[in-house]
Structure 1
Amino acid sequence: MKHPILFAAGLLCSAAVFAGAADTVSVHEPYVRLAPPNAPASAAFMVLRNTGARDVRLVRADNPASRVTELHTHLNEGGVMKMRPVPAVEIKAGGETVLKPGGLHVMLIDLKAPLKEGEIVPITLGFDDGSSKRVDARVVNPMAGAHHHHH
């Protein structure tokens, strides 16, 4: 790298045009809920912030811990909460989308092995422009309340 300044300037110029969705989306507090030992599935939650100028759609997710990974939401149908796969999760330009219990989430279906508390599950998020981003989600025991202490 003999020309770091030129190189950086070139990046800045092209970033606006070629930046993939993965570059403009930042992920905060990703975690996977520890499922009961014999549960066939678990769910991952996170906050997705879009720092870019255009809306972004998360269209798929993948992870090595389960055989199937799906984007899901909870819908209230006649007073009954049902989980439904969604084709995409929209993250508005300059906005954020929260994946949380009782709302949107990433389902890890058909777990290959029981998850252990504190384990890291690498989740790959795929966006509608073909870019992808890897997120390391820690397995958290919801009963321990580990998620909710604020210092």
Structure 2
Amino acid sequence: MRPTGPLGANRRASAVFAAVTAALLAVGTSGCGPADPASDAQASPSAPASASAGVIGVRDPWVKAADKGMTAAFGTLVNDSDADVTLTGATTAVSALELHEMTMQDGKMVMRQKQGGIVIRAKGTHVLEPGGDHLMLMDLRQPVRAGDEVTVTLTFADGRTQQFTAVAKPFTGAQESYAPGHGAPMPDTSGQPTTGPAS
């Protein structure tokens, strides 16, 4: 026989309260797990897309548009970690790719493969730019036209890899030519008039 009166009402209220509490605890516990990656992504909207691999960030990446031959990719490499990171290589589907630098040799600006890779200092940045370090796309297998997106895979000294996507855009600069030949004399690629040796 079910109890009636104030005592029965209290027991029924206690049972309902216990059931609701158990349901809320179950929902709250399931929300703490990693089963909802979308929630994790929304929790840190300021994180750059390229940081998903946990190596470096790549800010403002772009590729110089070119129909054939060679071109280059640029951007700013950002290392938010407490240790230096060394970029040792890169690949892309549209061409072979090498790490290059521009340097003065015998009073002339020359382009050559960067030995030892590119070091991005802890809590620092390293700029890839015309007239400086860059990712050299060699022997293009297809035209890279303005607006195209080129995916680049970076390889680091510790074996980690990460991808980023760069958008192609036209760039005339000083009418530079990414021609074959490491160490061959190269025109100034900064887009600024050259009045003397680069510093």
**Considering the TM-score relative to the shorter chain, is it more than 0.5?**
yes
> Which residue is equivalent to 1:148?
none
- Calculate the TM-score normalised by the size of structure 1: 0.78
1:30 pairs with 2:72: no
Distance 1:4 1:85, change over 3 A: farther
1:56-81 residue CA offsets vs partner (Å, 9 max, x unmatched)? 00000000011x11000001112211
- By how many angstroms is 1:129 displaced? 1.1
1:54 pairs with 2:83: yes
Which letter does structure 1 place at the counterpart of 2:148?
Answer: E
1:75 pairs with 2:106: no
- How many pairs are equivalent? 128
Which letter does structure 2 place at the counterpart of 1:79?
Answer: G
Aligned pairs for 1:2-151 (under 5 A) are: 5=32, 22-35=53-66, 37=67, 39-66=68-95, 68-86=96-114, 87-143=116-172
- Calculate the TM-score normalised by the size of structure 2: 0.60
Q: Distance in 2 between matches of 1:97 and 1:127?
A: 14
Distance 1:3 1:33, change over 3 A: same
Structure 2 unaligned spans of 5+: 1-28, 35-52, 174-199
Query: Which aligned segments of 4 or more residues in structure 1 are displaced greater than 3 angstroms?
Result: 2-7
Equivalent pairs: percent with the same residue? 35
Q: Distance in 2 between matches of 1:131 and 1:140?
A: 29
Where relative contact order (Cα < 8 A, 6+ residues apart) is larger, the structure is 1
Q: Is the 8 A contact 2:55 2:160 kept in 1?
A: no
Distance 1:109 1:4, change over 3 A: farther
- The structure whose Rg is larger is 2
Q: Is the 8 A contact 2:63 2:166 kept in 1?
A: yes
Cα RMSD, aligned residues only: 2.1
Which letter does structure 1 place at the counterpart of 2:57?
Answer: S
SS in 2 for 1:102: coil
Which letter does structure 1 place at the counterpart of 2:134?
Answer: H
SS in 1 for 2:54: helix
Which letter does structure 2 place at the counterpart of 1:85?
Answer: Q
More strand by share: 1
- By how many angstroms is 1:113 displaced? 1.0
Q: Distance in 2 between matches of 1:113 and 1:138?
A: 15
